[in-house]
Structures are given as structure tokens and as C-alpha cells.
Structure 1
Amino acid sequence: MDTYTASLICQNLNCGKSGTVSNTRSRLKGALDWLDNLQCRPHDSTLWQCPSSNWGESDCDDDAVVQITCEGNKALRGKATQSSQFDYFSSANNAIDGNNDANFVTGSCTHTKWESEPWWRLDLQEIHNVTEVTVTNRQDCCSERINGAEIRIGNSLQDNGNRNPRCAVIDFIPAGKSRTFHCQGMLGRYLNVLLPASNSLTLCEVEVHISRLVEDNVALKGRASQSSQYDRLGDAGKAIDGGSSADYGDGSCTQTRLESKPWWRLDLQETHTVSEVIITNRGDCCSGWISGAEIRIGNSLEDNGNQNPRCAVITFIPEGQPRTFLCYGMLGRYINILLPTNGILTLCEVEVYASRPAG
């Protein structure tokens, strides 16, 4: 069972907005299985819209049972900070106090000083798949100040977290009202609200709903291969060794020969639901070689896996830097990076954040 399905079950039972899936051998003896192979999609709003086997038809055994734990607002357990503080009453933590009072003078809203690109950041303490962010705007004045603010989610603290991937742009929230933004399971520990202008940023509540705690980079347990190997240093496994070096001479990057349509493939050993792929580009030279490469995910080995559905096209990654590509729960055992031209493919690290569908 994947995270979309677990979360929708929680919502339909009014038990919370998100669900965490864990395997269990506990099973009520004599219990019937009414829905098997249930696979909900991000656009489904009820269980009856989700693809499944026929009602009452099941081949489940006791080992196919999972436990779903429904969860509420994850922001309440986080820690908040902001670029500056306007006065004694405007702490960053006011936005995660569980109080939706939108009147600033009652002491439940944040407020920065007037400055260039003010920001607010929530540390969730652990990496999560974020499904929804709900923001409550100020009521007593200045509701337009939030217009244009960006919600960003990721694991980097570069520029205080303000360069992480963007979930949404807040174009407008009525005074004193709340608005929900859907982040489709974006992966991250840090959630920023950044106003890319000179102004003050004020927030009266921020709620965060997640689908699942992510514990591991599953690429580390996979097996890698590639279309060719340039020399003894350029082995395919170097992209999943957990190394942080982006210098080829350090022996932590892959490299193919110059050839037509070079590729690199990761075998996760079993089908996963893939949320994100993070690729670190080479830093010592040749950073442009990766431009135009495609990330493909699926279960087929036709054409060495290069015909599987496409998650993203890599237009550009700065020299020696990582970049995150969102795959929104694509299913697959194989992850390919294919350069669909004549060229050389080199990768210094590939991280994959995913879950295993259960039962």
C-alpha cells in the first residue's frame, strides 16, 4: 500500500489528513478482506474512485496485512525560525502554536521587520513527504503582504533553505482566512515561506500534513550498471556509494565512454513508489555533459530500461551541485538516466527516496 492510499483512508474515516504505513503480522482472526490491490492516485478524493480488485475478491494472506497510523498537523512538533522579529509578540513559533487567531495584537501571528526577502522556516526534525500546507493570513490589517510568497520544501539549508524546490506561490489569501496548498508528497525536513520582495512577512498559522516518514535513501541498497565504463575509476556503482565528492579524480563519480545514447541504470531489486530523485553533478569539469539527460522509471528492461516512463528531463545542474527531481509516486524497480544523444554520461551521486508498496 502506498502513501496516497493510506492518507485517503485516514481522510475518509475522519481520522486525520495523512497516514503512515507499517508492516504488521497482527490480524483479527476471521476478518474478511473486502478490497484488495487498492491503489489510490493523487487526484482521487474517495476510496471508491481508487482502482482495486472487485469487491470481496482477495488473495491476501496474513503476511499481506499493513497497519495505518493516521496523523494530523505535523507542524505542531517542529521548530520555527525567521529572518527577523518585529517585536516581542511576533515570534516565529506563533505560526505553529495551534491557534488560528488571525488578529496580530492577540499574540498568535509572526511578523518580520521590513527587509529584503523576508522568510520563515519550519524544521520538521525529520525528513517527510509533505502532502499539504495550510496557511492562515492576518486579519486586522496588511493581508496583501503575503501575496507572492513562495512555499519551498527540501533538505538543504543553503541560503537558509530558500533555494529548496518550490511547492507553490501564494498569490492571494483573504484577510483572516486559511488556504491549503497541495505539495504532492514533496520530500524534505525544512519548509520555508519566502517573500521574494522588500516587505514584512506575517503568518498567523502554518499547518503541515505529511504522508510518510522517509528513513533511507533506497539507492544505497540497489545495484547499478551502465552502457560502458570509461576507465577503472568510472564504475557505475560510484553513483550510489554515499560519497559527497564531485571530483572525478576522487573516485566517487561514474563515467561512460563517448557513445550514442549513453545510460546508467539503478536496480532497486523490487518495485518502489518513487517520490524524488536527487542527482549530484560533476564538479571538476564537464558539468554541461548532463544537460538533456532523462530520468526514466518503470519495471521494463526493454532497451535496457530506457523506454520506461519519464520522470524528468535534466536541463541544467550547476557544477558540483545536487538537484532534486520530483517523480510524484511513479512506480518502478528500475531507474535509468539516459542521455538521448551522442555524448559522455557522468554522475557523482544519485539518491532515490521511495517506499515499497505493501500487500
Structure 2
Amino acid sequence: MNLSLIGLLLGVFLQSAVASAKCSAIKCGLRVPGLLEDMKVIADPPTDYEELRSFLGNVKVFLEGCGSCLQGSQLNMICDKTEDAAELLQSTIGLDKDFFNEEACRSGNFAEAIGTPAPTTNGTCGVIDKGRCAKRFPQMISDIFSVLSLPNDYEEMKDFLGTVSTFLYKCGSCMTENQLSTLCEYADDAVETLTDAVGLNSDYFDEEACKRGRFEKAVAADPSSGTSPVPAPPVTKAEPENVAIGKPTTQSSTEFGGVSSRAVDGNTSGHIKDNSITHTGRMQQNRWWQVDLLGKFEISEIILYNRSDCCSERLAGFKVSVWNKEHMVWNYLDPTPDQKPPHKTVITLPKNTIVSKVRVSIPGRDTYLSLAEVVVMGVPALESPPKNIALGKPTSQSSTGYGGPSSRAIDGNRSGNYDDNSVTHTLNDDPKQWWEVNLEERFDIVEIRVYNRVDCCSERLNGFKVTIFDGDDAVWNYKLPAGEAPYESIIAVPKKLWGSRVRITIPGPEGQFLSLAEVEVYYNESEGQGHESVIDEKVCTIANQGRCAAKIPGLLRDIGSLVAPPQDFAELKDFLGTVSAYLDQCGFCLFYRQLTPLCDQANKVVEILTDNIGLEEDYFNEEACKQGPIVIDTKPAKSFVSKAQCTKRVPEIAKDIFDLIAPPTDFVELKDFLGHVSSFFQECGNSIMPSQLSMICDSADDAAEKVAETIGLGK
């Protein structure tokens, strides 16, 4: 046989062997009808990204495995049918790009025949969203119409609003104008019906905002946080009842068996023989009786029952004062002190008067005090919602650009859309971007909430840092963990952490903007006012001077806002105690211009009180008050702080150094850090053990070097 013929036959054999190694024409040919049938029987085309990707993937696998083995007519048919199906699916999802190339398929270039569509992110209407939302739209309309029984309680109302809110946030921007209008109208009708059924006073759905695409305003909550809206549940106010009955009582003295508990025994008889009359001693002025309600109540009226078998004139000129803890909040004076009070006197209190104690007294007369019954009508005081103490307070920021002033972050509007005029904006020409709110007083801060911009650029807030300042001292900081900054960041603050300023900074890079939708600061209201300063021992540091000065307006307000002056010894004692405690803590730490108006006001009130009670001696020396002394000592003597106190503070200062979440990154923060360490050294450096001092010095030096490098200081 001719060698050339043998070579030709061998080449054909080898080519066939290679082809058969890649694919089997018989097996692939058998798969063609099934693949065509899969395309043909698609009754409901895939309408989201995952189904499109799955379909294209199946076709791609088949072509790469079998394309080279198919006959020309089979390949053309597969390419043609795939093109038709892909166009239908892409049209349904709303993609602009064609992810199947029929010509490349026919020519055998299967790698270029099929592309892979990329998913998009929430908030834009792209590959992932539109198809799924189109599928869910009819079901959402059906859910609205097919409510068999209306929600009739708060939880069901909350669930319904949550469903609507979530759908709008995820799908609102993916619907046609007609679809969106229809959904908004139907949802508004349903919400109105449900609101009436549940008995809520407010409409929690805004149809116009929904139609305009302002979905964060359409439902009265924050949909971007991923939580259901929380309308306030309807409040069925309890009927007032006698909250004094059986509660602990005291009185100035007891005679003739007339114990104080008789006035809260439920017996209103005015006859002493019925063992229901209280009785004090006579040989004293300013007799009083008091009940502790053992809790806070909203009091609507107080009813006094007088003795009626005799001696009813003894109650003439009575006074009723009500207290919230240690603060007198309202009092009532007998309008006809020259007449005998009746057996029953009804006293109406102002609305929303919160009371924990009630006191009845006879000021300025030498007589007995007897009461048949004291009825205090009220209901348990509802816990007030947490108070955002940043709202409306003074703010500042590193710079202002694009009409985004710093005050927008404390305006009460959490909207993250810049068009709603609620987002701050700095310029990008400052490498150190910051925003700050001045709380104007010291507060026991428990929580800080930071709301981010959502219409764009949310990544600008990545890695933000929150610092709390107490006066000039940075006392705590927090850094957002790695990852994208969310719309809402709720930051828990350690217990008993007092502060007067909150600052937010971003780490960079240079050329970055800082934008905030809202910053909210909450404090601990469980103990009194929640913002009473805890002044250090009598050391007038700069920080203490600031704390004392911050308390002056509140103290002057308390003095000037007395509804009626206290008229018995106990109340005078309380008033003097308040003034005395402040002067003892802060008097030496004030300037003359601060001290003078305080002494003047206090002296005027004490003179009035002394006259009302009938005391001959003036218990307040105005001149002594004004004389101070005033010493602002930035380096207090070591004797002011005990060795035990300094030893206790060592772990705290060490923790402050070691637990820096992110080192200070600007000059102000470096100054705060160094000032904090310096203050500790001045007060305690000579009082702690050498090993403790060495540890603090080493740690502070390491931290200071790191901070100086961060800021770029050469020294």
C-alpha cells in the first residue's frame, strides 16, 4: 500500500479518535430533543436573575460538551431556540444587554456565545430585583384584598405594616408607575381600615410619599433598618383609683392614739370614736402628715376628709404639697384660711402631675393636725420614652459644603435622602473630617444612635469613630467594625459614663466627605434628673469648674420657678439643703460674676421663707456666700486625693490607655488624651506604688508615640 495513503487513513483515524474522546455524537444527539423540549415547554419564563443564570448555564454546559459533535442543522436549531428563549427571559427581567450571541453559537465559538449577567445591589432596579418583584406584585395585591378578618390588635397591625414597608423598600423602585400607583392606593385604603379597627389615632401610611417613591416616609418607621414599623399601641388609660390606701405614712408627732395610718385606712368617718382620726401633738409649729405612694403616679385629684365631731377649725389654712421623689412639684393653699374647712375638700391637680409623696401641713399656727382620710386619686405613671438629649442642641463640623449644615443631624428627621434636607455634608478639602454636638450639660449617657445617608455614598461613613467628652476630657470612644456602615448604628455606652459632648469622625482617606442623617444621644433617666453632676472631691480642676458652671442655670431656674414658697420647717430645710450642697461642692470653684446672682437669688427666697414660717433668724448669709473663696487650681495638691483613691484609679487609667479602640487622629484628640494622663499624674503620681507608676508611664509613652505618628508630629 502507498505510504501516503496509509498516512492519510491514519490521520483520519486519529482525528476521529480525538473527536470521540471529546464528545459522543450519538449521546449528544440523543440529548438534543430533551433540551429543545425544555425550551419549548417553558410556560412561565424565569423572571429573576438566578433562574436566568441557571438557564444560560445549562445551555452553556451542553454546548461546551456537545457542540462540536452536533450536525449543522442540530446546532443551528439549538442556537436559534436558545436565542429566542434568552431574549424572552431578558425582556421579562428588564435587562438592556443581550447575554446570548447566536452568531458565535452557530460558528462554534461557545465561550463567547453565552455571557454571565452580574447581580445588582438593593436600592437599584437591576438583575436581581425586577423579576422577583414582578412575581411578588400580584401576590402582594392579593394579600391586601384577601384579608378574611381585619387585624384587631397592635401586633397584627405591626405585622401588616412591616410587610408593606419591606415590599416597598425592596421592590418599589422596580415597579412600573401604574403598578406603584395601584399598590399605594390599595395599601393606603387597607391601612386606614386597619387603623380604625385597632383604634389608633394616627395614620401610619402616606399614600403621596409612596407614589413619589419616598418609601422611607410612606410607612411611619424606618424600613431600611429591616424592622417592622412600630406605631404606638392604643393606650386604654386606667380609671383613677385611690393609690394612697394602705400605704406607709408618717406625721410630725402622735397624741391621743391618733396614729398617722388612720388617714389611709379607707374609713372617711369624721368621728374620733370610730378610731379613724389622726392626731398630732400641739406644742409645736408646722405640724405635718405625709404618705409615701411607693411609686410614681399621675394624680388627678386629692380629697381631704376633715374631723366633723368637733374641732374642724383646726384644719383652717392647711397646705397640700405633692412631691416627685425629693422635688416638690406642686402645692395647694387653703383659699379661705379664716373659715372652717368642710368635712370633704376636693382638690384638682394640673394634668400630667407625677407624684410619689403627698404631704398635708398646718403652717405657722399653734394647733393640732387631725385628718379623717386622705384620698389620692391617680393611675400609675407611664414610663416616658427615652429622651434624645441631642435634639436641637448646638452643633459644629469641620466644614460645610453643598448646603449640608451640621444642625441637620439633630433636627429629628432620620431620612437618609439628601433631597429631604436632613443630611449634613462637609467639604473634602480637610483631611480630618468631624462633626460634634454640645449637650450643654453633663449626662449619664447610655446609648448613641448614628443614622447614615442612604440615597448614595453610604460607604463614606465606613469605620466611623464616636468619642464622648466630659468637658475637655475624652472619656470613651467607639469605632465601627470593618465592613459597610449600615443605615442605623445603635451603640451601647458603658454604665456611669458621663459626658457633655459627642464627636463623630471618619478615618479618611483624604478627599472624603462626612455626611450624617441623624445623631441621637440617650441618657439614664432612672435616677433623678439623670444629669446631676458628680463633682470630684474639693479639687477645683478645670473639668470641675466647667461642671459647676453648667449647673448654675438649672439651680437658678429651680429657685425662680417655685409655685408657692415652702411654708414649714421641713420644706425650708430641704431648700437650704439643696443650696448648701451646691455651694459646698461648687462655691469655691466659681468666679465672682457666677456666684453673685446665685447668692442674691438664694438670699431673697430664704428671707421670704423665714418670714412665712415665722422664724426670727435669717439662715442665709449673703455676704459670706459672695466671698468665695475661688481658686482655680489646675495642679491640685496631692493631699486632696487619698492614696486609696489613686490606687483604685490605676486599673481605670491603664484600661483607658490599653483599650484605645482607635488612636486619636487629630491634635484636639491628642491634647485630650495627654491631658487625661497628665491630670492623673498630677493628682496621683506620688501616691501609687513604683511598679504601678512604671507600668502607667511605659504604656502612656507607647500610646503617645503611636498617636504622634498618626498625626504626623515630629516631636
TM-score with structure 1 setting the length:
0.50
Tell me which of the two structures has the higher relative contact order, counting C-alpha pairs closer than 8 angstroms and 6 or more residues apart.
Answer: 1
Larger radius of gyration: 2
